[in-house]
Structure 1
């Protein structure tokens, strides 16, 4: 298991997903929720707002030195919302896994169901959820938002079909998270395009770098091609440069502010 650094103050250890009843009092609290002997780590910043933004991180890089990975805090500091950061537990299964799409592993084959249940503990009729993520985290935002009516997904340069991403990265995930099982045989959702072929009860602001030709061709276009009449998906194209490059943090912060304030 990868070594994790979690502050003791404000930290809550929960033995199972079923035992997690929701956030505890505190401006900023962390949670370790056990699922199949692998920890799911969360951080929740309760700022007293009626909107909560759920953050899913992208693939980790060599710059990441500390786990869990709570990404998005800097550019969302001025956003008028509570913040829920989720670290993908598949990173703990094998140190060679750098991206897991929050889709689970052979150690946690029911992760998608479990995270849906966990996120629901931060939702209520008088609150609104915004689910934000870039790249692999964008896939997660598109997937998990389908379970929350009235929510808003903000994927940035997302993969919409895992099998269409960089083969070496996909194969690394399959080999070390699923013992080499082919993507088509995984017992989880790996293609959100299929979920959006029918009308959904939430909204999507799909942010895409127009200079990312691979994602434009293999993820963006196939996704928009299947949307039904009356869909609730809005495209927001950004020229961020050539390749799989995200918009600048300042722009992401502005987009998130606009979504929360809308």
Structure 2
């Protein structure tokens, strides 16, 4: 049984996206914003910097007894940036779901639009935005960064085409989140090549493990092949072992530090 954990102090609930006008003034605060009857949970650490990193989590691979999931808190602790952690609300729709790519579900068919609006309300004038995520969270970082001109996406071993990921995991998402719809029927972006075939006003630092052949062949290469001339994408190849393995926390912290300082 998974329960939803909220903090009595510093936690705020909003009944809709329209009722949320921005974060409360506080060093750390959490939010539950209802979309389609399901909460979108976020944590915001306002550290007084002019750079904010938005964190999206990957698939849940360990037993979790409490949601929401705010991933990246430990390795980003010393970064000179504000932090906005977003938990994928599709995990609430069916407890058998462990990955939703922040692409929505039957109760939240327009989740991508709703999350874009929510994130925009954490952004102050002249703020610098970085979108970070690994694997399924990397897909989200690529999608949402495209909606904020001037932002930087830092995906790590991302899926770029949901339908090209592990068939059993994709089928589980379609069955439990969308009641068995085909991926072509979803009212959501499931292939970020559709966005990046044309020039987009953001930039990307694409971190890819060279030992992850499945993602190199099925996600990295198709994405790179779809880019137009003059794209603003930098490939950062790392060798951290065979398979779908991310860099260490220390490496991720160094990468984000370089992006912040850059």
Aligned to 1:94: 94
State how far apart, in whole Å, the 1-side matches of 2:109 and 2:209 are: 32
Q: CA offset at residue 144 of structure 1?
A: 0.5
State how far apart, in whole Å, the 2-side matches of 1:28 and 1:92 are: 24
What secondary structure is seen at the aligned counterpart in 2 of 1:132?
A: strand
Aligned to 2:226: 226
Contact 1:2 1:92 in 2 (8 A): no
Could you give the per-residue CA deviations for residues 30-61 of structure 1, whole angstroms, max 9, x where no partner exists?
00000111000000000000000000000001
- Structure 2: runs of 5 or more not aligned: none
Aligned to 2:29: 29
Aligned to 2:207: 207
Q: CA offset at residue 66 of structure 1?
A: 1.9
Aligned to 2:8: 8
State how far apart, in whole Å, the 2-side matches of 1:70 and 1:158 are: 18
Contact 2:2 2:64 in 1 (8 A): no
Q: CA offset at residue 2 of structure 1?
A: 4.7
- Output the aligned Cα RMSD: 0.9
State how far apart, in whole Å, the 1-side matches of 2:71 and 2:196 are: 26
Kindly indicate whether residue 180 of structure 2 is the aligned counterpart of residue 180 of structure 1.
Answer: yes
Contact 2:3 2:65 in 1 (8 A): no
Aligned to 1:161: 161
Aligned to 2:59: 59
State how far apart, in whole Å, the 2-side matches of 1:205 and 1:67 are: 30
What secondary structure is seen at the aligned counterpart in 1 of 2:206?
A: strand
Q: CA offset at residue 146 of structure 1?
A: 0.6
What secondary structure is seen at the aligned counterpart in 2 of 1:172?
A: helix
TM-score, normalising length from structure 1?
0.98
- Structure 1: runs of 5 or more not aligned: none
State how far apart, in whole Å, the 2-side matches of 1:170 and 1:251 are: 29
State how far apart, in whole Å, the 2-side matches of 1:38 and 1:173 are: 17
TM-score, normalising length from structure 2?
0.98
Contact 2:2 2:65 in 1 (8 A): no
Aligned residues: 262
Q: CA offset at residue 64 of structure 1?
A: 2.6
State how far apart, in whole Å, the 2-side matches of 1:149 and 1:123 are: 12
Aligned to 1:118: 118
